[in-house]
Amino acid sequence: MVLAGVVAGLACQGETALEGLTTRAEQGDAQAQFNLGVRYNNGEGVPQDDAEAIKWWRLAAEQGHASAQYNLGFMYKKGEGVPQDYTEAVKWWRLAAEQGLADVQFDLGLMYNNGRGVPQDDAEAVKWFRLAAEQGYAHAQNWLGRKYRIGEGVPQDGAEAVKWYRMAAEQGDSATQYRLGLMYSQGEGVPQDYLEAAKWYRKAAEQGIWEAQFNLGFMYSQGEGVPQDDAEAVKWYRLAAEQGYAPAQYNLGLLYFHGEGVPQDYAVAHKWVNLAASRSQGEDLESFAKTRVALVERMTPAQVAEAQRLAREWKQKTWDELKQGLETESR
């Protein structure tokens, strides 16, 4: 995200503040140049103009203003106001990262990780992730943990992965809470501990991570780390299923099929199993399709028609919500 600035003339109002800011920028004041660029980028008191924002950020960046360097790199990465150019983005981000901006160090690490604007280089990615992680930047701690878990750019080390995951998880990073739960569930880098796994899955699940919701539902279904409770399993499977996660949709369908945690309902079971099958492939698709056939054999034609109607309604609702979200983002 483009960094915002504190406009030096904020105490003044309207045109007078803008005129003063412009004068200082034209006189070479790097902070004023940065702030004026923010004004043009956001359309604050001036017409929104990415090219004009870039002009002022470039002047500030050339004087070593770290936030201007970051913003200029961001515009090159996105291709806003300039042709998209990852190499140019890396150039400016490196200058800002070398000044210690943790979020820029993280973004530069991602560029090396993905091979954008630079040759793909896991060791270099780890270097920048580590610099940001050591400043407490949660996303960088998450990525550094990933690198240690799979051994990319560093020797594989589960305990070191857990160390960095825990730092990010304790800051509330939901994706890392889920991964830390996995480490405890599988006994990677720590002794296997289902109670601790359930704790971290719950924290991630409550923030909407569907894999964590699914795993927590499974733990309630099996009584691992939590008391066995089919109704609680249904609750968490449903949350993940409503987000379109096929394994959760299938397991929720099975619970309706067998009447575990919910009243038995073949139409609702068919709805969820059918939706799961429509989002799967390979062995999963084969397994889900077999369950769907087994359901149909126990259903009346009216129940099958109702199940198909429920599935269509869910798909339409999901599409409408997605379309509304895209329209909101485009405004």
Q: Specify whether the CB–CB gap between 122 and 152 falls below 8 A.
A: yes
Mean pLDDT of the chain: 94
pLDDT at 289 over 50: yes
pLDDT-derived band at 206, boundaries 50, 70, 90: very high
CA–CA separation, 67 vs 73, rounded Å?
10
Please provide residue 3's backbone torsions phi and psi, each rounded to the nearest 5 degrees.
-75, 140
Report CA 192 to chain centroid distance, whole Å: 27
pLDDT at 199 over 70: yes
Two structure tokens written together for 115: 């091979």
pLDDT at 233 over 90: yes
CA–CA separation, 269 vs 297, rounded Å?
13
**pTM greater than 0.85 (yes/no):** yes
pLDDT at 328 over 90: no
Q: Specify whether the CB–CB gap between 124 and 112 falls below 8 A.
A: yes
Which helix (H) or strand (E) element contains residue 27? Answer: none
CA–CA separation, 199 vs 112, rounded Å?
34
CATH topology match: 1-99 vs 115-203: yes
Read off the pLDDT of residues 120-138 as tens digits, 9 standing for 90 and up: 999 999 999 999 999 999 9
Domain boundaries, the chain: 1-99, 115-203, 245-323
Predicted pLDDT of residue 6: 37
The CATH T-level fold of domain 1-99 is: 1.25.40
Read off the pLDDT of residues 252-263 as tens digits, 9 standing for 90 and up: 999 999 999 999
The CATH T-level fold of domain 115-203 is: 1.25.40
Predicted pLDDT of residue 331: 46
Two structure tokens written together for 290: 């077999």
Predicted pLDDT of residue 7: 34
DSSP state string for 114-126? HTSSS---HHHHH
